[in-house]
Structure 1
Amino acid sequence: MKRTFLMTALLLVLAASAQAQTVWHDPMQEPECVLNGRGWNQETGNSNYCRLPDRLEQTVPPAVWRLSRHTPGVSLRFQTNARRLWVRYLTYFPGKSLPNVVSLCHSGIDLYATDVNGHTSWVPNMMRYDMSVNKSDTVQFYFDTHELPDFRGQGITYELYLPTYNGVKWLAVGTDATASFRFVEGSRERPIVVYGTSIAHGASASRPGLIWSTRLKRRYECPVVNLGFSGNGRMEHALFDALAEIDARAYLIDCVPNSAELSAREYEERLRYGIARLRSASQAPIVLAEGQFIDHPSALVHSAAYHQQMQKDTIQRRVVDELKGQGVKGLYYVTRADLGFTADDFIEGVHLDDVGMMKYEHAYARVLDQALVGPDTMRHYTPCTQRRDGYDWMGRHNSIIRRNHGAAPEVLMIGNSITHYWGGEPAGTVVNGGKTWDRLFKGHRVTNMGMGWDRVENTFWRLAHGELEGCSPRDICLMIGTNNGEPAPQVVSGILDIAALIRRHQPQARLHIIGILPKGGQEEAVRRLNALLAQSVVQDGMTFYHDFSSALTLPDGSGRLDPSCFLPDRLHPNERGYGRLAKHFRRILFR
């Protein structure tokens, strides 16, 4: 008996000790809002987790306002080297499930992990969650992350998706007391905006990360704002007015199922208003989808609803074709055939299971690949983010976006750490040639778009994700490739893919492709790569190739680097080296 009592006491002490050693991190205590997936993030800030700002309560239907308390697609990003994670939160509404929405999707959370090389994977919770801690509205999830790769102790970047059919009043992430932790922002490029019904809202995926809009977010690695309102995607004017406030990359309108009971005249009027309102505010692509009924005789079991949707599909297609004929640009269409649903894609004939959600994602992706991506692809690399150098890569990416939108730069300097550590704005934590930069660019507006440890696939990603928008520079310098170790033809193809991306987005700018600078012990390999690059660049009066290697090599003609121009790593120039490079940049940019 005494032994049992002692063991019980010991276990209680250990449990209390473990709880005491857990540090809880509240995102709402951050100085800047770190939520993702909301269209009015700056306005709402840290006041709540909801999808619509408070001022819209007076203009949108009451049911829409109530559903805007739900958080489908809303997420948090954080970086930590913790090997165990806890998430606690208080739900907005007491119910934790619906007859057709399981609790994990309704009120649960979902976690994804991205390593320093930009590779993302799902983090399973292995059923270690409690949807009602002590029979309350508090929910707790536990994630064991000790097997995830940790590069140089920099930890992992996580994205936590919030409940789909519930909201959050407060939330905290728990880590061991010794772990590093910080909330980080996602990409602040323009979002894809989804407006629709319960299908867009998330019914009936098995978990938050599998609703089709969130699948699109991971597919394109760009922000997605989910404005699906279950049973209430009826295209009221107030909703299109709200959508028009968002500077979107694309608008996806998926409201046919909830509009079935509208009269033909009322539906057409709302549709025409919505398209006109969005087009008056933005030239972003507008994608409209037909209803998701099974295109099969089995659908006639509910023929009335089927024919109501078919009527609205017919009106929608006629209006879109008519507007295209009148010269309205950027209208796209997803048909029922594109969706290709079968009975296996539904849970009860109305809402989609995970397979149906995947088909929805694929159908929209086929259109968005045409509307947004086009030829902006790489032949031999997969564009991705990275975080190998310890600084806030995504934060710098967002700083570049903000600067290019606000500073009207004349020159963009794109590259890796050799550009990053030179100087200028956005300022880096390491500056090896600041005086030289200041002299070279005095009186000129220049954005330093260098990123330490960038490879060609990382530079392509960020240029395709907003860094080339909002500005019209006169000159763009591209110096990238030194961190890629693949065969020279593959690296050259990556550089040319970036050049083509720049040309498509900034056709008015002179593009200067700079050969890779010499590296200690690799001078001959760099020389051969540059020779291939020089042969491959088509110089057409707007695109130029330059080799500045001679500025940093010995004058004896050996091609070996001049150690007086480099830091001890024999890769990064020092102030003297940057001074020599500046003479060449001044010649091509300002003479």
Structure 2
Amino acid sequence: MLKLMFAITICLAYSACIYSQIVWKNPTAENFPTVHGQAWSNELKGFYHRLPQRAESKVRKPLWDLSTNSAGLSVVFRTNATNIQVRYQINGDFSMPHMPATGKSGVDLYATDGNGCQRWCAARYAFGDTIRYNYSNISYVTNPEYGYEYQLFLPPYSELKWLEIGVPEGSDFSFEPVSKEKPIVIYGTSIAQGACASRPGMVWGNIINRKMQHPVINLGFSGNGRLESELFDLLTEIDAKLFIIDNMPNMTNDRTFLIYERATAGIRKLREKSDAPILLVEHNGYGNELSSLEAENSYRKTNIELRKAYKDLQAEGIKNLYYLTKEEIGFHQDAMVEGVHPSDLGMQIYADAYISKIKEILKEDCEKRTVFVPCTQNRDPYNWKQRHEKVLKLNKEKVPQILMIGNSITHYWGGEPTARLVRDENSWKKLFKGKTVRNLGFGYDRIENALWRIYHEELDGYEAEKVFLLMGTNNLEKNSDDEIIDGINELVRAVRHRQPKAKIYVVGILPRAWQELRVSTLNKVLRTRLLTDEATFVDLSAELTLPNGNIINELFSDGLHPNKEGYQRIAKALEKVIKE
């Protein structure tokens, strides 16, 4: 008995020791914005609120109170910890009759591995004075040393008092700053706020954020999405990628007569300040519309008024205005909890309809995509996201004339953004003398990663003179030649949609040791299948190979990456097209 008690004591002591070795991180302790999904991070009354403090005196109290809920907000961090704990406190109840505690007041964690694959994380949780989530036994399938990027979605229907994230002592941990990309802004109702998802990650705005990876700002207010002028005033302050106006579920019955006047006035006001696309959304219907004419007539009347506003705004000449119909949303009677608010199934249906429309508006998938799904990556020892953000910052500071889109061969050549390794800055400077050039080479990038970067504003907001594409070598290990050729043409189309006036040059895959024949054959086919009306093919193989087709070893550091002399030869071969 004494031995058993001793063993139990030792186990308890060990457990206490392990628990005490957790290091807690607080997003409020950083000197940069750490809460993603906010538009006024420097003007908030509460750290996890959604509207600026000055709005409290301008909007109705019920709406202001809802703005203190953390709907659509998230914290992004990178760690290699195998155990992640979250603890926090909230104001208000844990749950609602039609929405569980995990949905109303819970958090939700998603990981993104080194190849850009998203992985949902399950937790053990306990709701009390302090709510706790424990994510244990996390496995890393890509480089464990680099860890994963994590996104923690916050409670959609609760006000956070404070929140901390804990990892075992010795684990790497860093918060990721808020992106400089323009956000998709949602102005909506309880459905947009998150009712009735079973967990925050299943709120339709968060699904869009996860699937498309564009920043999303959720201004959904339960029962209070009413096309009000005060909210449109606030919307005009946001430099958005897209505005979504989804208020019809709160504009039924005695508010239906307000729709036309409020919608037209609000859209005009928004268009005066912003050229961003605006998407008007119909009422999605009710679960009992097949058994209740009253329910059916209710939503149909709202949609008639909204469509009239849309058509008249178009007739006025309002540009970049789009419309999502009830039929396109495609709700059915099994998609709702109580006939009004979506279940997880309904949220997914809603998100899918939105994603399809958003891709159409933003011209994503315009390249007739095949096997390549745009995604991030973190395979090389540098912070991929930070380099992307640096590109966005540099583009705003000084408009580039020439873009060099590539992988590590371009990344470590020279230019800006600067890299930890620079193989030949001199040849870079000599080749591009007098030109503003942006190095859009990212080490270990594949075609799908370059597509992601093109979608995420690296080519937006300016007109370049020339764009060079040197992509495909990292796809040799996982894709067929036909897939790679199709993928390069997809890149050309994606570039053309964003840089309609630029000259596009596709540089053939550089020869590499042990794969010279495959690369040579692929380049020959690429030349014949390239979209010649959109791009010009440039072949550098002759500068880097012997008469028998093998690489000149003295021009490479490892059979793949050119050395100083190799870059000098590449620069000399590119001189003519740079001067064109």
Equivalence map 1:141-290=2 (5 Å): 141-151=133-143, 153-185=145-177, 187-260=179-252, 262-290=254-282
Offset at residue 49 of structure 1 (A): 1.8
CA RMSD of aligned residues (A): 2.2
Work out the CA distance in 2 between the residues paired with 1:415 and 1:75: 31
CA 1:263–1:48 in 2, change beyond 3 Å: closer, same or farther? Answer: closer
1:499-539 C-alpha deviation (Å, 9 max, x unpaired): 11111210111111111111122222211111111112243
Work out the CA distance in 2 between the residues paired with 1:366 and 1:494: 21
Q: Which of 446, 466, 470 is the equivalent residue of 2:457?
A: 466
Identity %: 38
Contact 2:289 2:296 in 1 (8 A): no
Offset at residue 201 of structure 1 (A): 0.5
Aligned residue for 1:589? 578
Aligned residue for 1:83? 82
Aligned residue for 1:343? 333
Work out the CA distance in 2 between the residues paired with 1:333 and 1:75: 28
Aligned residue for 1:573? 562
Aligned residue for 1:28? 28
CA 1:16–1:509 in 2, change beyond 3 Å: closer, same or farther? Answer: same
Amino acid aligned to 1:476? V
Q: Secondary structure at the match of 2:474?
A: coil
Work out the CA distance in 2 between the residues paired with 1:108 and 1:523: 54
Work out the CA distance in 2 between the residues paired with 1:48 and 1:517: 50
Aligned residue for 2:110? 112
Contact 1:33 1:45 in 2 (8 A): no
Amino acid aligned to 2:107? I
Mind listing any 5+ residue stretches in structure 2 that lack a counterpart?
none
1:158-217 C-alpha deviation (Å, 9 max, x unpaired): 111011101223222111112222222465322211111101100111110111111122
Aligned residue for 1:446? 437
TM-score, structure 2 as length reference: 0.94
Aligned residue for 1:484? 475
Work out the CA distance in 1 between the residues paired with 2:357 and 2:313: 18
Aligned residue for 2:503? 510
Work out the CA distance in 2 between the residues paired with 1:94 and 1:328: 43
Q: Does residue 18 of the first structure (1) align with residue 18 of the second (2)?
A: yes
CA 1:21–1:451 in 2, change beyond 3 Å: closer, same or farther? Answer: same
1:196-254 C-alpha deviation (Å, 9 max, x unpaired): 11011001111101111111222222211111011111111110111122222221111
1:387-425 C-alpha deviation (Å, 9 max, x unpaired): 111211111112112222321111111100000001111
Q: Does residue 326 of the first structure (1) align with residue 316 of the second (2)?
A: yes
Amino acid aligned to 1:204? C
TM-score, structure 1 as length reference: 0.92
Contact 1:89 1:171 in 2 (8 A): yes
Aligned residue for 1:74? 73
Mind listing any 5+ residue stretches in structure 1 that lack a counterpart?
none
Q: Secondary structure at the match of 1:345?
A: coil
1:318-339 C-alpha deviation (Å, 9 max, x unpaired): 1112222333223222233333
Offset at residue 54 of structure 1 (A): 2.2
Comparing 523-532 with 60-69, greater Cα deviation is found at 60-69
Contact 1:82 1:145 in 2 (8 A): no
Offset at residue 295 of structure 1 (A): 7.3
Amino acid aligned to 1:182? S
Contact 2:402 2:436 in 1 (8 A): yes
Comparing 573-582 with 229-238, greater Cα deviation is found at 573-582
Work out the CA distance in 2 between the residues paired with 1:308 and 1:141: 41
Q: Does residue 564 of the first structure (1) align with residue 554 of the second (2)?
A: yes
1:310-368 C-alpha deviation (Å, 9 max, x unpaired): 33221111111222233322322223333333332222222221122122112223322
Comparing 450-459 with 183-192, greater Cα deviation is found at 183-192
Offset at residue 284 of structure 1 (A): 2.5
Work out the CA distance in 2 between the residues paired with 1:576 and 1:45: 55
Comparing 444-453 with 272-281, greater Cα deviation is found at 272-281
Aligned residue for 1:423? 414
Offset at residue 378 of structure 1 (A): 1.9
Comparing 140-149 with 101-110, greater Cα deviation is found at 140-149
Q: Does residue 97 of the first structure (1) align with residue 95 of the second (2)?
A: yes
Offset at residue 4 of structure 1 (A): 6.2
Q: Which of 314, 334, 343 is the equivalent residue of 1:353?
A: 343
Contact 1:34 1:76 in 2 (8 A): yes
Amino acid aligned to 2:343? D
Aligned residue for 2:38? 38
Aligned residue for 2:63? 64
Q: Which of 471, 485, 488 is the equivalent residue of 1:495?
A: 488
Contact 1:185 1:394 in 2 (8 A): no
CA 1:460–1:454 in 2, change beyond 3 Å: closer, same or farther? Answer: same
Amino acid aligned to 1:116? G
Work out the CA distance in 1 between the residues paired with 2:554 and 2:330: 65
Contact 1:28 1:46 in 2 (8 A): no
Contact 1:401 1:467 in 2 (8 A): yes
Q: Secondary structure at the match of 2:260?
A: helix
Equivalence map 1:126-137=2 (5 Å): 128-132=124-128, 136=129
Amino acid aligned to 2:314? K
Aligned residue for 1:524? 517
Work out the CA distance in 2 between the residues paired with 1:493 and 1:176: 45
Contact 1:401 1:469 in 2 (8 A): no
Work out the CA distance in 2 between the residues paired with 1:296 and 1:64: 28
Offset at residue 50 of structure 1 (A): 1.5
Amino acid aligned to 2:121? V
CA 1:338–1:534 in 2, change beyond 3 Å: closer, same or farther? Answer: closer
